[in-house]
């Protein structure tokens, strides 16, 4: 454990303790810092604090941190397919099989490791640390477009768009069997099954809606364009299986006929967090169509 001491400056007067710690420990996991406070390893003016405490200028903060366990998103150089980038946001076209963020079991080799390296390369003898903020996520097996914010402000703006359903996502999926109806809506609540420990269509689940449109039919499969109206865990995979057309390669929900999950995030539409200009981006053709 290392002991750190800080005195709160004017810029963090009336700001939360967790915001202050995230700003000071930019290379450290936010979850770790929250747990350090929860486990009474942080004091403000000599008193055990909580993450939501409102700071005052000249407050004295003391915290004990295990640096090895606290590190998050270690920079690692890796090839990235960057579709769009400016000062506020970045959009990357992710390959299937790449884990998006570190877990307790996999700490490196993830997309966030690569993004952290990309955003923090040395320029003019100075290192500008930028923490990549995930606005939405993709499963390891899913390929396609992923939007990343470069600041908390940009992230909050984009997350508000998601809540207001102004952020649009489109996917391509190759599903089992022939989908007869040219287009339609799947309205089926999704909840977590406590015994199977995974999300499924359940009567008491959260409202979940997906739209689909048939793009092309093959001998025993159909290429669909999918648009999730809501954003539940594994929503598209669950909904396709629910209507009897699981996505090819989706072993979890009933199909193992492909070496990969045939699901690809092909398009996103949103308003730029700085100024509100509309952004419309398309991905390259997914590997399972080549």
Residues 93, 156, single domain; the answer is yes
Q: Residue 130: what pLDDT?
A: 77
Does residue 213 contact residue 225 with C-beta atoms inside 8 Å? yes
Residue 278's DSSP bridge partners are 271
Domain boundary among 165, 183, 205: 165
Q: Give how far the C-alpha of residue 268 lies from the chain's centroid of Cα atoms, to the nearest Å.
A: 14
Q: Does 251 lie in the same domain as 174?
A: yes
User: Do both 102 and 158 map to the same domain?
Assistant: yes
CATH number at residue 95: 3.30.2350.10
Residue 284 lies in a domain: no
Most distant CA pair in the chain: distance in Å?
71
Residue 43 is assigned to a structural domain of this protein: yes
Give the pLDDT confidence score for residue 166 in this predicted structure: 92
- Does residue 48 sit in the same domain as residue 103? no
Tens-place pLDDT, residues 251-277: 999 888 899 999 999 999 999 999 899
**Residue 40: partners with Cβ closer than 8 Å, 6 or more residues away:** 48
CB-count exposure of residue 101 (10 Å: 0-12, 13-18, 19+): middle
| Secondary structure (H, E, C), the chain | CEEEEEECCHHHCCCEHHHHHHHHCCCECHHHHHHHHHCCCEEECCEECCCCCECCCCCEEEEEECHHHHECCCCCCCCCCEEEECCCEEEEEECCCCCCCCCCCCCCCCHHHHHHHHHCCCECCECCCCCCEECCCCCCCCEEEEEEECCHHHHHHHHHHHHCCCCEEEEEEEEECCCCCCEEEEECCEEEECCCCEEEECCCCECCEEEEEEEEECCCEEEEEEEECCCCCCHHHHHHHHCCCCECCCHHHCCCCCCCCCEEEEEEEEECCCCCCEEEEECCCCHHHC
Q: Which domain holds residue 47?
A: 2-70
Residue 265: predicted pLDDT: 97
Domain C-terminal end among 70, 104, 120: 70
Note whether residue 283 is domain-resident.
no
Same domain for 38 and 113, yes or no, is: no
Which residues, at least 6 apart from 150, have a Cβ–Cβ distance to it below 8 Å?
87, 88, 89, 90, 119, 130, 132, 133
Distance, in Å, from the CA atom of 234 to the CA atom of 237, rounded to the nearest integer, reads 5
20-24, 100-104, 120-124, range with the lowest pLDDT:
120-124
**CA-CA-CA-CA torsion sign (4, 7, 11, 16):** positive
How many structural domains comprise the chain?
3
Question: Residue 39 belongs to a domain with what CATH number?
Answer: 3.10.290.10
Same domain, 252 and 173: yes
| 260 and 206 part of one domain | yes
Residue 204 lies in a domain: yes
Asked if 57 and 35 sit in the same domain, the reply is yes
The two three-digit tokens of residue 106, written as one number: 């996999």
Nearest C-alpha neighbor of 212 from the set 165, 147, 263 = 263
Residue 131: per-residue pLDDT? 78
Judged against a pLDDT cut of 60, whether residue 125 lies above it is answered with no
The rounded distance, in Å, linking the Cα atoms of 272 and 89 is 8
Q: Say whether both 207 and 230 belong to one domain.
A: yes
The predicted structure's pLDDT at residue 78: 93
pLDDT tens digit sequence for 133-186:
888 989 999 999 999 999 888 988 998 999 898 999 999 999 999 999 999 999
Boundary (domain end) residue, out of 25, 44, 70: 70
Encoded tokens for 63: 């915290």
12 lies in the same domain as 58: yes
197 C-beta neighbours (distance < 10 Å), count: 7
Residues 173 and 260 in one domain: yes
Q: Active-site residues: which are they?
A: 139
Q: Residue 173: inside a domain, yes or no?
A: yes
Exposed, middle or buried, 70 (CB in 10 Å: 0-12/13-18/19+)?
Answer: middle
Q: Are residues 112 and 149 in the same domain?
A: yes
Domain presence at residue 53: yes
Rounded mean pLDDT, 219-229? 96
Output the pLDDT for position 73: 64
Q: Is residue 280 part of a domain?
A: no
Report yes or no on 7 lying in a domain.
yes
């Amino acid at each position: 454990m290392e002991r750190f001491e800080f005195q709160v400056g004017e810029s963090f007067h009336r700001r939360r303790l967790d915001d202050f710690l995230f700003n000071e420990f930019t290379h450290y996991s936010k979850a770790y810092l929250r747990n350090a406070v929860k486990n009474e390893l942080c004091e403000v003016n000599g008193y055990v604090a909580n993450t939501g405490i409102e700071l005052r200028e000249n407050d004295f903060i003391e915290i004990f941190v295990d640096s090895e366990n606290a590190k998050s998103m270690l920079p690692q150089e890796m090839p990235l397919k960057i579709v769009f980038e400016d000062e506020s946001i970045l959009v990357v076209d992710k390959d299937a099989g790449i884990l998006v963020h570190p877990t307790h079991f996999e700490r490196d080799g993830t997309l966030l490791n690569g993004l952290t390296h990309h955003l923090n390369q040395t320029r003019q003898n100075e290192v500008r640390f930028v923490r990549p903020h995930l606005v939405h996520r993709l499963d390891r097996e899913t390929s396609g477009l992923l939007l990343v914010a470069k600041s908390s402000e940009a992230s909050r703006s984009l997350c508000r768009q998601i809540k207001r359903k102004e952020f649009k996502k489109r996917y391509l999926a190759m599903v089992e069997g022939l989908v007869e109806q040219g287009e339609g809506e799947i309205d089926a609540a999704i909840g977590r099954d406590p015994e199977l420990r995974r999300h499924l269509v359940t009567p008491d689940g959260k409202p979940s809606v997906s739209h689909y449109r048939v793009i092309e039919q093959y001998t025993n499969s159909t290429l669909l364009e999918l648009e999730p109206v809501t954003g539940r865990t594994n929503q598209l995979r669950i909904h396709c299986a629910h209507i009897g057309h699981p996505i090819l390669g989706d072993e979890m929900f009933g199909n193992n006929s492909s070496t990969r999950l045939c699901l690809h995030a092909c398009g996103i539409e949103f308003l730029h967090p700085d100024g509100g200009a509309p952004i419309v981006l398309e991905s390259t053709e997914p590997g399972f169509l080549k």
